Amino acid sequence: MNTPTQASTAGDPPAGRRPILSARNLVRRFGRVVALNGADFDLEPGEILAVIGDNGAGKSSLIKCLSGADLADEGEVFLDGEPVRFRSTLEARAAGVETVYQNLAVCPAMDISDNLFLGREMRKPGLAGRVFRKLDYAAMRAMSRARMSELGLMTIQTITQPVETLSGGQRQGVAVARAAAFGSRVVILDEPTAALGVKESRRVLDTILELRQRGLPVILISHNMPHVFEVADRIHIQRLGRRVAVVTPQTHTPNEAVAIMTGAAPV
C-alpha cells in the first residue's frame, strides 16, 4: 500500500535478496511539522546506498530513526528482517548499526587508538585486568593499527598521534574506521565529505569503497552529486517526507536525480 511509485524498476531490490536494514511507513511529526510522512527505506547487503533529498525532505529525520537517535511516531524498522526499536544510538550500535556523525564525534586531544576504542576499551587478561582494571594498550594499538592500515588510512607510526594533529580527512578516516572496526553490520555516514577538500574527499570515498569491498553495507547521506554518483550502487531519493524513488547511476543522470529530488520532474 505504501510502496513508492517507482520511477524505474532498476532501483528495486533484486528478487530473493532480503534487505539488511529496512523501514516501512515511518511517520515523524514535530508539532505541526511533518518530517516523515510514511517513508520507506531499504538497504541491501553489501551495497552503498546514497540518500539524497532537498533541505527539509526528511533525510536527517529518516537517518535519526534508523540510527536510534530518534524514534518514529509510527512505522517499523527491520534489521535483517527482524523488527527493531532502537531507543538510543547505543542500542542501535549494540545491534550493529554504526553511525559516523557529521561532527565526527571524536575526542581531539586523545590519540587515534584511544578514539577507536573509546567506550569499549580492552583490559589486560588475568589479574591485572580483572582486579586492577588495567587497560591493554599494546593490544588496542596493534588492533587499531591493523584496522587503519586495512582501510589504507594510516601508517603504523602514527597510531598514538592525537586526533587533533590530523587533517580533516584523516579525522574522518578515524571516525569511519571506528564505525567499521567492531563487527558492525551497517555503517551510516552523514555528509562525510561536506567539510573536506578535494584530495581529502577522495580518500574518504576510497574508504567507503573499501568498506563495500569488505562486504559492509553503507548508507551515505550526501549533497554532493558527483560523489553520490561515483560510489553509490543505488540512490534513495527523499522528498516531502517520503521516498519518492530509488534510482541507480546507470539509469539516471545526476540532473535527472536532482529533478526528481526537487519535484521538477514527475516521478
Partner 1 sequence: MAAATAAADAHADFGMPERLVDRVRAQLHARAVLGPLSVLVLSIVVFAVVSDHFFAFNNFSLILQQSMVVATIGIGQTLVVLTSGVDLAVGSTMTISMMAMAKLSAGGTNGVLALLIGFVVGLVCGALIGFFVTRFRLQPFIVTLAALYVYKALELWYSRSANVRGTDISPVLKWTGNTIHLGTTQIPYGAIIMLAAFAAMAYALRQTAWGRHVYATGDDRESARLAGIRTNRVLLSVYLLCGLFCALAGWILIGRNQGGDPQAVTKDYNLDSIVAVVIGGTSLFGGRGRILGTLIGALTIGVFRSGLPLAGVSDIWKDFAIGVLILAAVLIDQWVRKVAR
Binding-site ranges for partner 1 (CB under 8 A): 89-90, 93, 101, 103-110, 114-115, 118-121, 123, 132-135, 149, 152-155, 157-158, 161-162, 164-167, 170, 203, 206, 210
All cell numbers assigned to 196: 573536506
- Nearest distance in Å: CB 105, partner 1: 4
Tell me, what amino acid is at 150?
Answer: E
Which is closer to partner 1, CB of 166 or CB of 228? Answer: 166
- Nearest distance in Å: CB 106, partner 1: 6
From the list 2, 49, 13, the residue with the least C-alpha distance to 241 is 2
- Nearest distance in Å: CB 166, partner 1: 7
- Nearest distance in Å: CB 214, partner 1: 14
Which is closer to partner 1, CB of 55 or CB of 103? Answer: 103
Which is closer to partner 1, CB of 115 or CB of 193? Answer: 115
* DSSP, res 115: H
Q: Under a CB-based contact definition with an 8 Å cutoff, are residues 148 and 173 in contact? A: yes
Which is closer to partner 1, CB of 4 or CB of 162? Answer: 162
- Nearest distance in Å: CB 198, partner 1: 14
State how far the Cα of 32 lies from the Cα of 151, in Å rounded to an integer: 44
Which is closer to partner 1, CB of 75 or CB of 173? Answer: 173
- Cα pseudo-dihedral 225, 229, 103, 121, rounded to 10: 180
Residue 54 CB-density burial (10 A; 0-12 exposed, 13-18 middle, 19+ buried):
middle
